[in-house]
Structure 1
Amino acid sequence: MSLRTQYRGYTIHYAENRDSWDCSDCGVSESSLGKAKSKIDSLHLKLRKSSAVDAYEISRNESEREFSVKATEARIIDYGKPRIQRSGYGENRKEYVEERVFSMAVRHGNGKASRSEQPLNGLAPVTPEVHAAIDEANRLGVIAHAAVKEFRAAARAIPRLKLEDITGLIEAARHQFEEGEA
């Protein structure tokens, strides 16, 4: 009888002749199953650390005060499970796969990095091209925000009708109000 178990996608089997738990896929051989799993965890952690990627978490602000793009320095530390997302309504409803990752970044004013799951398309590589694109987006954001403010002021400045502009309609309808009709 051969004892086998699965752990993190690896098969670990018990070798009676050596009294050890072995995983040939990753070269682990330990005296107990717990130690074998711990060794696989350690190998997995080393692989994740050596594969981590520096990135920016990109966020947009389109508020009353400004239009801007913020880039927060982050480190992608793990790949997450993809999610099925839906967009649109009715005939335009579409499903797509959203790739997910885990990243470490300082996101709050306390200065401490925290781990967070993010959609991969919300992150950007750390390159001069990305810096230039963020600068351009923020430059255009200043222009767009000023244009929105001008648009709102111009829309408010459009002359509106006053009661004296509709005196004829008021006189024509006055009999309805006098008779108690609304």
Structure 2
Amino acid sequence: MADIETTYRGHLIRYGENSDEWYCRDLEVGGGSHVSLAKLKAKIDKMYLDLRRKAAVKVFEVNGGYSSKPSITEATIIEYVRPFAEKDWKGVVGRTRHKVATVAQRNGSERASRAEKELSDLMPDTSEAQAAFAEALRLAEIAAEAQKAATEALNRIPRLTLDDIAELVRIKESETA
């Protein structure tokens, strides 16, 4: 009789008719078989979950930037999701970016949530990165003060009034009379 086999997440799973069990040699000894195919697949899922937990990386999500004050949120990268190609307006592929899944407490929430982020939006948990972020904060405060001073200077510029263009107003009023 022909062997019954399938693949799940890249792992070959075979059915043993004599033992009436499903086997996967990629799982640890003793844990690589089960009567139910669904439960064996669940074991494979749990194996990947455990591997991702062990490989998780502590990072900071960098938020804000050009027009707002930058901030960071503690997060953990729990999964590499996929690469994606950045295209320009003509559809020409530029550079490749990478999506990862992170878990963090965002927006003052007490509960952690999962979100997909670009790898380039994350900062490592190192003293060098912390120092660079502190410098970015300092410069953002200087930029905000400079923007405020520029706005105040613009507001102090004298503006025209109707008295300055009284002759034009008189001409317009005489045309419609």
For 1:139 and 1:42, the matched residues in 2 are separated by 45
Other structure's SS at 2:52 match: helix
CA contact 1:68–1:137 (8 Å) conserved in 2: no
Q: Deviations over 1:35-89 (max 9, x none)?
A: 32122122111111111110101101556xxx421111111111213344445x4
**2:160 — aligned with what?**
161
Other structure's SS at 1:68 match: coil
Other structure's SS at 1:112 match: coil
**2:43 — aligned with what?**
39
User: Number of residues paired by the alignment?
Assistant: 173
For 2:71 and 2:175, the matched residues in 1 are separated by 64
The one of 31, 48, 54 equivalent to 1:50 is 54
1:19-98 to 2 correspondences below 5 Å? 19-27=20-28, 28-60=32-64, 67-87=68-88, 89=89, 95-98=94-97
How far residue 177 of structure 1 moved from its aligned partner, in angstroms, is: 3.3
AA partner of residue 128 (structure 2) = E
How far residue 113 of structure 1 moved from its aligned partner, in angstroms, is: 1.3
For 1:45 and 1:161, the matched residues in 2 are separated by 68
Residue range with higher mean Cα deviation, 47-56 or 161-170: 161-170
CA contact 2:85–2:93 (8 Å) conserved in 1: no
RMSD: 2.5
| TM-score for the superposition, normalised by structure 2 | 0.82
For 2:93 and 2:149, the matched residues in 1 are separated by 37
- CA, structure 1 residues 108+167, in 2 after alignment: closer, same or farther (shift >3 Å)? closer
**1:8 — aligned with what?**
9
In structure 1, runs of 5+ residues without a counterpart are none
| TM-score for the superposition, normalised by structure 1 | 0.80
For 1:90 and 1:31, the matched residues in 2 are separated by 54
CA contact 2:56–2:79 (8 Å) conserved in 1: yes
Residue range with higher mean Cα deviation, 152-161 or 30-39: 30-39
Q: Which of 1 and 2 has higher RCO (CA within 8 Å, sep 6+)?
A: 1
CA contact 1:21–1:29 (8 Å) conserved in 2: yes
For 1:150 and 1:7, the matched residues in 2 are separated by 62
- CA, structure 1 residues 168+32, in 2 after alignment: closer, same or farther (shift >3 Å)? closer
For 1:48 and 1:82, the matched residues in 2 are separated by 18
Residue range with higher mean Cα deviation, 101-110 or 142-151: 101-110
The one of 160, 165, 173 equivalent to 1:177 is 173
For 2:26 and 2:48, the matched residues in 1 are separated by 13
Q: Deviations over 1:120-167 (max 9, x none)?
A: 211111000111111111101110001001111111212222333334
CA contact 2:86–2:97 (8 Å) conserved in 1: yes
AA partner of residue 161 (structure 1) = L
For 1:103 and 1:36, the matched residues in 2 are separated by 27
How far residue 30 of structure 1 moved from its aligned partner, in angstroms, is: 2.6
Residue identity over aligned pairs, in percent, reads 39
